[in-house]
Amino acid sequence: IVAFIIIGFGIEKKMRKVVELGCGVMLGVLLGELARQVIGSGAWQILVVVFGAGMLARFLESSNLFGFQVTIQSLLVMIMPATPTMTPGGRVLDALTGVSVALVIHLLLSGNPRRLQSRAADSFYRELEDSLVSLAVSARTGDRGVARATLRNLRDVSQKYTDEWSLANDVANEMATFSPTGLRHAEEVERIQHLLVGSDRAMRNLRVIARRQAEFLEAVRGDAHSTLADALLAARDAVQELRVAVTHEEVDFTTARRRLRLFGSYLTPEMLLRNDEGLRPGRAGHFEGVTLTIQLRSLAIDLLQATGLTAAEAKRFLPSLVIAADGDAIGPRPMTKEMKAVEPPATTEALELLITDRSDPERRR
């Protein structure tokens, strides 16, 4: 029974469960035997022991499993008749045997810890892809209702996917730390753990983007913006490459970074704010559009950081821009001699060095 409780059917951390179960069984048996020797065995004694064991367990540890085991084991000791073969040491030994068997089975048969992470990341990125496609449809048709529907969906489900991936990371890290078969995957597990940080920020950012896009389309009275749609589809392609990279045996983000570079090339107000007729928005639409552009640039930086780049390196993938009150002044910042000294433009060669994923020692050439 103890082994079955530990192994279970769901995805969860097992080592803490082992400790809680083992300690709960031992404490429950000791409390029950102590109560039997001091106050005897009877109806009121059982009530006192069960209540006392439950309160003590809650005081020591808030875990339901620990409290359940302490209470149940103390109850069993009180209600089962004493026999020569049933000793406190025997009960504890039986429980520890079950704990040990479950632990050995779990560690030896757990397999590749990255599998759990890959499944969780795949679901996470598919939701991100679907949302980007919906926002692209909204931009191409000028339908702000689609953007609002996307926002509602993201609010409903995005945190669920983040929590599932976070739990998978914890379980995979435990397996890579304690399992003999999982030790060789420790470095890859750590890389995918880091990937969640930037990806979670990107998911949160996308909720803001959906809201900003709905407000922008309302301000421009539903004008179609195909260039904005193309930018969102470029982001979808980059997310798709991230998903593919995570599912491969060797995680390599080179292709994803190339896609993100293409996505970043769209991200200036001059590119995104013109409608399909080539017209700029009015003052209200201009303000909402600039806010949307800045948010999309933040999304690109989040995804680039998820691949292992620093914030400074990620910003080099984005075109320079200046935000001014006059809509005609918005666009790429003029590169004066003084500006070049402060902010040198990223050359193709420099970006290629950043794009190529060299986090794997075998690719550091």
Give φ, ψ of 322 to 5 degrees: -130, 140
- Cα dist from 2 to 80, 102, 266, 285, whole Å: 19, 8, 58, 63
217 or 93, greater pLDDT: 217
Residues in the chain: 365
What was the pLDDT predicted at 256? 92
Rounded-to-integer distance, Cα 9 and Cα 152, Å? 32
State which H helix or E strand residue 105 sits in.
helix 88-109
Least confident of 192-196, 220-224, 247-251, 275-279: 247-251
pLDDT band at 15 (very low <50, low <70, confident <90, very high): low
Hey, what CATH class is 114-363 in? mainly alpha
300 or 54, greater pLDDT: 300
What was the pLDDT predicted at 95? 65
> 363 pLDDT exceeds 60?
no
pLDDT band at 144 (very low <50, low <70, confident <90, very high): very high
Q: What is the mean pLDDT of residues 299-318?
A: 91
> 334 pLDDT exceeds 50?
no
Q: Which of 21-25, 28-32, 136-140, 344-348 has the largest mean confidence?
A: 136-140
What was the pLDDT predicted at 291? 92
Q: What is the mean pLDDT of residues 187-202?
A: 85
Rounded-to-integer distance, Cα 103 and Cα 18, Å? 7
Rounded-to-integer distance, Cα 101 and Cα 9, Å? 16
127 or 2, greater pLDDT: 127
> 134 pLDDT exceeds 90?
yes
**Domain span(s) for CATH 1.20.58 in the chain:** 114-363
Crossing angle, helix 64-79 and helix 15-39, to 10 degrees?
30
Segment 236-278, tens digit of pLDDT = 999 999 999 888 777 788 899 999 999 999 999 888 998 998 8
